[in-house]
Structure 1
């Protein structure tokens, strides 16, 4: 299986990349426990920022950006993590996905994640990230993972799950869906037809 993580962290190192790594490692471990091997590719949008801006203006992606887009559209599963700016995903994160054809991700399994300085931004998963990937017709996992600064190194209590527990739960969900699709895949003709039907839908 091919697993691609998209990290929109701006610093090096960044908590966004750290969360992306933790999530992909967990999915890979869960898949291994079920007898499946996953190849992981991490795309750092920070390194593609200039190329993304140029593509938005010219309409043509340079080779490195084209390769990143191809990796995302051909992946079996996506792990997407963005830092929070002004209570939403970063502009870099959104700009990258603006470059991908809306139908290219149809039916793809997506795990959403975000990082921020305060727990107040945790709803970004539901009011920004989930609608974005629903619009792109992906299958967004029930569990999204938000990590505030204080979550790193914290454990759970009687009322809330700690960050490691949320990461494990999301990883199990993604691995279960990927394994189910691998063992009982939709025939190519049916998949193509499903994509066509979805692309023909209008939401007026």
Structure 2
């Protein structure tokens, strides 16, 4: 019995090792960084320029390693561009069907009529494969009339840290409304 077990030990080790190597090669291919992400990773800077900052959505070094970073950057760029240009139709194109259904145009226009967002940095992206969604931690600066600021922080300039949930609708990534998004951190600039 001992000789039969030892006779199968070497082929079993070879098969297991081969499977592990193949899995590693597949993982490297799947999770390698595609070249199409815009820009280079950024590190938060302590320098202060004109607020709210650049309109370009940028990625931290951590977010830059996520395999969906290009789609995340693209959808968030569309999201913030639509707010800054007061373009409700463009906003509808980058948010989930559920969010569109819950947001009347008049209320959206009134909420964002003085808002200007910038300095957007995607800090981290976490995948939830089962729910087909991404949790995105981002920071940004918004300027607005004080009357349009959140009641809990009536300021003309606010620094935000918030989690946005992005969902896949078909082949497109969309900004969704989720409980994680409803508890942002904010401080006056």
User: TM-score over 0.5 for the alignment?
Assistant: no
Relative to the length of structure 2, the TM-score reads 0.28
Greater strand share, structure number: 2
**Structure with the larger helix share:** 1
Greater relative contact order (Cα < 8 A, sep 6+): 1
